Amino acid sequence: MTRTTISFDDRLYRALKLKAAVTSRGLSAIVADAVRLSLKEDSLDLEAFEGRKGEPARPFEEVLRRLKADGLL
């Protein structure tokens, strides 16, 4: 396990302290879970990108043009 220092906005820190008290968990566990969740989401995104890399791409401008033509914009 590696120790580190993290700086938080005072209000965010108070919210984390309150969450820790309400859930009977330590700040380190809450922060570690949040980081783990963020990295898991990144991993899932990369898997999705990899699975779709063979699909044709559409320029964003084309998407906007079609939405406008369909009266959605």
Digitized pLDDT (tens) for each residue of the chain, 73 residues in all = 999 999 999 999 999 999 999 999 999 999 999 999 999 999 999 999 999 988 888 899 999 999 999 999 9
Q: Look at residues 16, 21, 36, 41 and name the one whose alpha carbon lies nearest to residue 6.
A: 16
Q: What's the pLDDT at 43?
A: 96
The answer to whether the beta carbons of residues 19 and 30 sit under 8 Å apart is yes
| pLDDT value for 57 | 87
Task: Return the domain boundaries, the chain.
Answer: 10-69
Contact 64, 50 (CB under 8 A): no
CB 18 within 8 A of CB 10: no
Using CA atoms, how far apart are residues 63 and 13, in angstroms rounded to an integer?
41
Please give the Cα distance from 18 to 13 (Å, whole number): 9
- State if pTM tops 0.85: no
